[in-house]
A = this chain, B = another copy of it.
Amino acid sequence: MSNPVLTRSPRAAWARTIERSVLQEMLEASAKPGILSFALGLPAAELFPIEEYRQSLNRVLSANPRSLQYGPPLQSLRKQIVKLMELRGVRCSEEQVFLTAGAQQGAHMLTRLLLDPGGCVVTEELTYPGFQQVLQPYRPRVLSVSTDRGTGMNVDELERLLNSAERPSLIYSVTDGHNPLSVSMSLEKRQQLVQLARRYQVPIIEDDPYGFLWYEKKSLPPLRAFDEKWVYYVGTFSKMLAPGLRAGWIVMPEELVAPLSVIKESIDINMAPFTQHVVADYLATGHLEKHLDMLRHEYSARRDALHLALQEYFPSGAVWQRPTNGVFFWVELPEDVDTGDLLHVAIETEKVAFIPGFAFNTSAKPCARNTMRLNFSHNSVELIAEGIARLGRCLKRHSLVSVKM
């Protein structure tokens, strides 16, 4: 009856172009024993407040078996998030808070709300690949703007774009602890960017996984602090509590909460999962601020260790800035280094991994191949020194080979 010769794997047109993601490959490679990885933005598992989670888990289970049942998104958690946003310099109401299963889901749902197939969006030339994946099924026209290493997104370039091109459906921004460039946007640019969004009536998806992870001084207020109509703020507990809880939120205009609820329902039922109850309980204990202080202390020590190790082990032509936020260094190596080649050598000979900078490119323009993103939150100070020494050895061998050739 069936005709095996004619059979093919069925797939939507866009899905025939799906490629395996670099980050997913790294997630699997990093899970292998023996690899010392700077590749992913992983938090430090040994710093998770396990005992406090255990207390919250058991308290929630005892108090409320319905925490495992279908039920509407938790108002108690929305209330806690309003307080948390105050720490970030943002005033919002419970009605503007929408609960998600993490920042990735937040960006995914907002894009579904805002973008038509074949529409147009603005991102930076170098940006978070997870957002590129969100865009892919829509096959949009991606307009990209450059990023200044010291002050963030090139807002003048954005203005020229908004003046000349079709109106985009959204602008994507990681304002603090930029991924991958680790820059935090200047105050002036924040204000300019929000004004552009208002004037051209283009919503901004502000992805803020790292805004609570500041080191020297408190982060500037996010874009959402300057505008509540055109900025949709995406928050997550993945970096400050734990990714395995799968809990995050959006702060957005209240009138869009109802349609977004329907979108969430279609994706995974708009309900309060068990871990949402646990996070709400944990936040109610008031432990978070102390935990964040501890994280900032630990992560800034790791950042400094990586900075010192780069100074010690990397060639003199390498350039980087010590980040004030987030979990990444962005390093520019001498021009003859191709970090794609280097990665293979590094994994094979020294069992150490990172992500080549060009993996973050969204632009059609050619992209430099001598850059890398290094994470500093995941490994201990000792392992950071060890891993950067290994990478330094690879670079030395690489430069010897380059000279020979």
The smallest beta-carbon distance between A282 and chain B, in angstroms, is 12
Which chain B residues border A244 with CB–CB below 8 Å?
A: 67-70, 271-274, 277
Which chain B residues border A19 with CB–CB below 8 Å?
A: 262
A69 CA / B272 CA spacing, docked (Å): 21
Which chain B residues border A256 with CB–CB below 8 Å?
A: 9, 11
Question: B245–A274 contact, CB under 8 A?
Answer: yes
Residue of B nearest to A266 (CB): B133
- A 254-288 contacts with B by CB, 8 A: 255-256, 258-259, 261-263, 265-275, 277
Other A-B pairs, 11, CB within 8 Å; known A108-B266, A133-B262, A246-B246: A12-B169, A18-B262, A24-B262, A42-B69, A45-B66, A48-B65, A68-B243, A70-B238, A108-B267, A244-B271, A244-B272
Chain A, 191-232, contact with B by CB distance < 8 Å: what is the 0/1 string? 000010011011100000000000000000000000001000
Interface size on A (CB < 8 Å)?
94
Question: B68–A15 contact, CB under 8 A?
Answer: no
Question: B270–A24 contact, CB under 8 A?
Answer: yes
Which chain B residues border A389 with CB–CB below 8 Å?
A: none
Chain A, 5-38, contact with B by CB distance < 8 Å: what is the 0/1 string? 0111111111100111101100110010000000
Interface status of A101 (Cβ within 8 A of chain B): yes
Interface status of A137 (Cβ within 8 A of chain B): yes
Interface status of A57 (Cβ within 8 A of chain B): yes
Which chain B residues border A10 with CB–CB below 8 Å?
A: 114, 169-170, 201-203
- A 109-156 contacts with B by CB, 8 A: 112-117, 119, 130, 133-134, 136-137
Which chain B residues border A53 with CB–CB below 8 Å?
A: 61, 68
- A 312-354 contacts with B by CB, 8 A: none
Which chain B residues border A274 with CB–CB below 8 Å?
A: 242, 244-246, 275
- A 231-245 contacts with B by CB, 8 A: 238, 242-245
Which chain B residues border A169 with CB–CB below 8 Å?
A: 10, 12
Question: B261–A246 contact, CB under 8 A?
Answer: no
A-B contact pairs, 15 of them (CB 8 A): A1-B199, A2-B199, A9-B256, A10-B202, A12-B116, A20-B258, A23-B265, A45-B66, A50-B68, A57-B58, A70-B244, A105-B268, A108-B267, A245-B274, A268-B268
Interface status of A382 (Cβ within 8 A of chain B): no
Interface status of A40 (Cβ within 8 A of chain B): yes
Interface status of A180 (Cβ within 8 A of chain B): no
- A 59-118 contacts with B by CB, 8 A: 61, 65-72, 101-102, 104-105, 108, 112-117
Interface status of A43 (Cβ within 8 A of chain B): yes
Question: B42–A68 contact, CB under 8 A?
Answer: no
A202 CA / B6 CA spacing, docked (Å): 12
Which chain B residues border A1 with CB–CB below 8 Å?
A: 195, 198-199
The smallest beta-carbon distance between A62 and chain B, in angstroms, is 8
Which chain B residues border A166 with CB–CB below 8 Å?
A: none
Interface status of A188 (Cβ within 8 A of chain B): no
